[in-house]
Structure 1
Amino acid sequence: MSADYDVVDLIRLKRDGGALSHAQIDWLITAYTEGAVAEEQMSALAMAILLRGMSRAEIRQWTAAMIATGERMDFRSLTRPDGSRRLTADKHSTGGVGDKITLPLAPLVASYGVPVPQLSGRGLGHTGGTLDKLEAVPGWRASLTNAEVLEQLDAVGAVICAAGPGLAPADKKLYALRDVTGTVESIPLIASSIMSKKIAEGTDALVLDVKVGTGAFMKNYDDAAALARTMVALGTDAGVTTTALLTEMDTPLGLTAGNAVEVQESVEVLAGGGPGDVVELTVALAAEMLAGVGLSGVDPRENLRNGKAMDSWRAMITAQGGDPDAALPQPRHQHTITAEASGTLIRMDAYAVGIAAWRLGAGRARKEDPVQAAAGVRLHAKPGDTVQAGAPLMTLCTDDQQRIPRAEQALAGAVDIAAGSAPAAAALIKSRITAADI
């Protein structure tokens, strides 16, 4: 460790609007990870960062220091028959409702010969977790060793798995602290948390899907754009080709929110069908990932149509012990919510649908809570659709019937139906941010 500092001096420095030096940041992150900085001291510093912010140089060094507390993955051994290196591409979403995009996206990009090391997480609160969804597939396992990840990337081209404990261990400790000290919203700390793991993962190109809206972590465009610019800057400074798409999350993505129901919808997309918004976003992100490794001008829809993406999906699921032909879990109980009036559905609140899915058992309140594979919400209409009074709007799915009333409560006032035609739908992709924009 470098020369010791007085952590109280660092707290005062940031509290008063000063900038932490590289050496101070390196010492602080290492000392905190090793337990030499007390939780209450890091709590005070995190609050000072929330209130005062950090410069680009500070965030870059903070991220690098967190990476340095753990291991880095290395995919440079992935080569073509001629010996040239196969560049890897990855995607990160800031989380939303019905956001199953990783499931069809990883095999779609892999179907073009681009390895996709997709390290994913579990759900917490109203946002679903990719690993929870995939664990609805019988036999599928989320935990792989680094050697297994590399072997599967070489043989199959796509991996969706849990991040190992060796990647940026400082982040795991700091994330838990932020969660209980009211500092989760700090853009420098959000960005460094996400990017420390993605940079340590060793991917060559990264595409960020930054959600904006009621069902997203970032509720307004300006905050989402600031987060996107910060993360693109971190990736660029680390030598990772990084772009970000800001995407709409006032309305759930697709027609499902939950676990097995989202897997089923993802398979429909891979089979060349599926809801238009899920297909649109999957294709847009795939095009960005492919362009990031030099494959510009490719239309990813082609491999959805010709079955190559589905072949990649089946190989990926099989390689991780899953059975792509097995029946997905079905809920023991279902309850249908109907339209209270006839007219045009003009609003369906993504956050309310996410809370309902969570209460049905699809999500968790604490990281250690179990989830139900069959729990979730199926939507029968989306904003812009004409509905009739008494017609189904959504079906609630759960293994525990006692959960249904609380899920219904979450959906009170979540839907607006009006006479006349619907207003123009908001663009699914709001903007694109690249290194040139920062």
Structure 2
Amino acid sequence: MTDPVSVITAKRDGGELSAAQIHWVIDAYTRGEVADEQMSALAMAIVFRGLTRAETAAWTDAMVASGGRMDFSRLRRPTVDKHSTGGVGDKITLPLAPLVAACGAAVPQLSGRGLGHTGGTLDKLESIPGWRADLGAEEIHSILADPEIGAVVCAAGSGLAPADRKLYALRDVTGTVESIPLIASSIMSKKIAEGTGALVLDVKVGSGAFMKNLDDARELASTMVDLGADAGVRTVALLTAMDSPLGNTAGNALEVAESLEVLAGGGPADVVELTLTLAREMLAAAGIDGIDPERALRDGRAMDRWRSMIRAQGGDPRAALPTARHHEVVRATESGVLTRLDAMAVGVAAWRLGAGRERQGQAVQAGAGVRWHAKPGETVAAGQPLFTLYSDTPRLFDSALAALADAWSVGDTPPSTPLVFERIGLSGSSVGA
């Protein structure tokens, strides 16, 4: 007979939990038979003692088994999804999903809302008038099956991995977030339950990311790739830079507008590069060869898919995006080469302006955010605009300006940082990009 105390003490003392123990405790916690204080004690034991690969796989499988699983086997196209661990200015999903759909894959992109300094994909898309994030399973399947669409970006239903939702909320208030096995199983349980056949992971590394260094990011990526392989999902991970924010904007409607520039064949070079890199990885993982995603951006096919995808979810792709009622300009105080633009500081500033939230369920401002007018490596002159801040609430500018006070550096030597550090393949091996 399994009981919570024996599971807690086994892990506390460094033992390896059996699959049966793990499945029991996850199921009992989901049903309310294991108390929050008991699960928080187990989570803390895992933070200190870790989980083996077998334990992590069993933990993930138990969270998947706590709810339903989507089935896309009736689709005529291969399914592939992308997941980012979160960064600043990371609007890649917006142009990427319709681009990959335009190249022949079905893209079931279940996304989330932002919390803290990282923006949420659903918050960005909800700045489009009429657009809906909450869709039923049949509606999702119908959009994916439509030969003129093939991509959907929506909220995960409450029936997918409900154990993860409950455990995530507990970890957030008990100091047990920083566990790579628990982070990996949280992400992968939802992706496995989603039912995609292939998955590309964008694991961010740097000041604006959850993983601050390459070693931790590599461990997280390898763990998730292994979990995908164990579950029969073809999975590959890229480790990508997040010391500087992506693109030129952070904020909901601001990032939608920038994504539209990419879909129109323009946009910031780093956003275009990462979009195309991830698109190629997704197509390869889905088994689609001989299709050039760059051509699909240039010839308008990706934009056509975007418009169809937005309309299918109730949005008006031609409607004007919301704009903030007030703005403030920050000017460079010296001339030279911009050598640093701190992603965390920019993300915090956007959050403080109203683009993000402090707690789940809090409203966000669609037009709030930050635009930066220079990227690291570019020359700036004293007095030129460096940032423009946007908000509907003028009193928020002071705290946002405080966040940006030490966000940049000017010098003589341009920085040299690759956008993609490494690729961790299906075998878990690491290859320099």
Q: TM-score range by the shorter chain?
A: over 0.9
**Equivalent residues of 1:214, 1:351 under 8 A apart:** yes
User: What pairs with 1:92-107 in structure 2 (closer than 5 Å)?
Assistant: 92-107=83-98
Q: Does residue 1:133 correspond to 2:124, yes or no?
A: yes
Give structure 1 stretches of 5+ with no counterpart.
80-85
Q: Where does residue 316 of structure 1 map in the other structure? A: 309
Query: C-alpha displacement at 1:295, in angstroms?
Result: 1.6
Residue 55 (structure 2) pairs with residue 61 (structure 1):
no
- Equivalent-residue separation in structure 1 for 2:382 and 2:78 (angstroms): 53
Give secondary structure in 1 for the equivalent of 2:204: strand
| Aligned counterpart for 1:109 among listed residues 63, 77, 100 | 100
Query: Post-superposition shift, 1:140?
Result: 0.5
1:434 Cα deviation from its structure 2 partner = 1.1
Task: Name the CA distance, whole Å, in 2 between partners of 1:331 and 1:42.
Answer: 43
The one-letter amino acid paired with 2:363 is: P
1:90 aligned residue: 81
Correspondence 1:365 to 2:358? yes
Overall identity of the aligned pairs, in %: 67
In the alignment, the residues of structure 1 paired with residue 426 and residue 181 of structure 2 have an alpha-carbon distance, to the nearest angstrom, of 17
Partner AA of 2:100 in structure 1: V
Other structure's SS at 1:436 match? coil
Contact 2:250–2:370, Cα closer than 8 Å, also in 1: yes
> Residue 43 in 1 paired to residue 35 in 2?
no
* Partner SS for 1:29: helix
- Partner in structure 2 of residue 240 of structure 1: 233
Cα offset for 1:436? Answer: 1.9
Give the deviation of 1:394 after TM superposition. Answer: 0.8
Equivalent-residue separation in structure 1 for 2:371 and 2:206 (angstroms): 20
SS at match of 1:91: strand
Distance in 2 separating the partners of 1:437 and 1:150? 31
The answer as to whether partners of 2:88 and 2:242 remain within 8 angstroms in 1 is yes
The structural deviation recorded for 1:92 is 0.3
Q: Which residue of 2 aligns with 1:190?
A: 183
> Structure 2: how far apart are the matches of 1:297 and 1:428?
25
1:297 positional shift: 4.7
Separation of aligned partners in 2, 1:403 and 1:373: 15
- Distance between the aligned counterparts of 1:210 and 1:52, measured in 2? 24
Matches within 5 A, 1:261-272: 261-272=254-265
Question: C-alpha separation between the residues in 1 aligned to 2:364 and 2:158?
Answer: 22
Instruction: Name the counterpart of 1:147.
Output: 138
Find the aligned partners of 2:262 and 2:385 in 1 and give their Cα distance. Answer: 23
SS at match of 1:334: strand
Of 49, 52, 57, 1:52 maps to 49
Instruction: Tell me if the contact between 1:287 and 1:296 (Cα under 8 Å) persists in the aligned partners.
Output: no
Residue in 2 that maps onto 1:206: 199
Of 22, 27, 41 in structure 2, the residue corresponding to residue 25 of structure 1 is: 22
Deviations 1:52-103 (A, max 9, x none): 1111110101101011110000001112xxxxxx210000000000000000
Aligned position for 2:289: 296
For the residues of structure 2 that align with 1:271 and 1:283, how far apart are their CA atoms? 14
Specify the SS of the correspondent of 1:182.
coil
Q: Deviations over 1:169-217 (max 9, x none)?
A: 0000000000011111100100000000000000001000000000000
Task: Give per-residue Cα distances to partners, 1:81-133, cap 9 Å, x unaligned.
Answer: xxxxx210000000000000000000000001211000000000000000000
CA displacement, residues 419-438 of structure 1 (integer Å, 9 cap, x when unaligned)? x2313x20000000012235
Q: Is the 8 A contact 2:64 2:189 kept in 1?
A: yes
2: CA distance between counterparts of 1:51 and 1:330?
46
Q: Output the amino acid matched with 2:43.
A: A
- Checking the alignment, whether the CA contact within 8 Å between 1:352 and 1:414 is kept in structure 2 is yes
The C-alpha deviation readout for 1:246-275, integer Å capped at 9, x for no partner, is 000000000000100000000000011000
Cα separation, 2, equivalents of 1:121 and 1:194: 11
Query: 1:255·1:379 contact (CA, 8 Å) conserved in 2?
Result: yes
Match for 1:405 among 387, 398, 414? 398
**Structure 1 CA distance, aligned partners of 2:26 and 2:3?**
13
The CA RMSD over aligned residues, in Å, is: 0.8
SS of match in other structure, 1:75 = coil
Question: What TM-score results when the alignment is normalised by the length of structure 2?
Answer: 0.98
Q: Is the 8 A contact 1:131 1:162 kept in 2?
A: yes
The letter for the 2-side match of 1:6 is: D
Answering whether residue 413 of structure 2 is matched by residue 421 of structure 1, we say yes
* Alignment partners' CA distance in 2, 1:436 and 1:236: 8
Aligned-pair CA distance for 1:17: 1.0
What does residue range 306-385 of structure 1 map to in structure 2 within 5 Å? 306-385=299-378
Runs of 4 or more above 6 Å deviation: none
Aligned counterpart in structure 1 of residue 164 of structure 2, from 160, 164, 171:
171
> After the TM superposition, which residues 218-237 of structure 1 pair with which residues of structure 2 at under 5 Å, given as runs?
218-237=211-230
In structure 2, C-alpha distance between the alignment counterparts of 1:241 and 1:356, rounded to whole Å: 37
The answer to whether the Cα contact below 8 Å between 1:140 and 1:322 also exists between their aligned partners in 2 is yes
Q: SS state of the match for residue 435, structure 1?
A: coil
For the residues of structure 1 that align with 2:49 and 2:417, how far apart are their CA atoms?
Answer: 34
- 2: CA distance between counterparts of 1:296 and 1:412? 48
User: Aligned to 1:138, what secondary structure does the other structure show?
Assistant: coil
Aligned partners of 2:20, 2:94: CA distance in 1, in Å?
41
Aligned to 1:392: 385
Residue 49 of structure 2 aligns with an amino acid whose one-letter code is: R
Give the residue type in structure 1 aligned to 2:413: S
Partners of 1:213 and 1:325 lie apart in 2 by: 36
For 1:110 and 1:225, the matched residues in 2 are separated by 29
- Kindly indicate whether the alpha-carbon contact (under 8 Å) linking 2:226 and 2:428 is maintained by their aligned counterparts in 1: no
Q: Distance in 2 between matches of 1:393 and 1:318?
A: 36
Amino acid at match of 1:391: Q
Could you tell me which amino acid in structure 1 is paired with residue 48 of structure 2? L
Q: Distance in 1 between matches of 2:30 and 2:155?
A: 21
Partner SS, residue 427 of structure 2: helix
* Partner Cα separation in structure 1 for residue 300 and residue 107 of structure 2: 18
Residue 9 of structure 1: which of 6, 12, 16 is its match? 6
What letter matches 1:26 in structure 2?
A: H
Find the aligned partners of 1:435 and 1:241 in 2 and give their Cα distance: 7
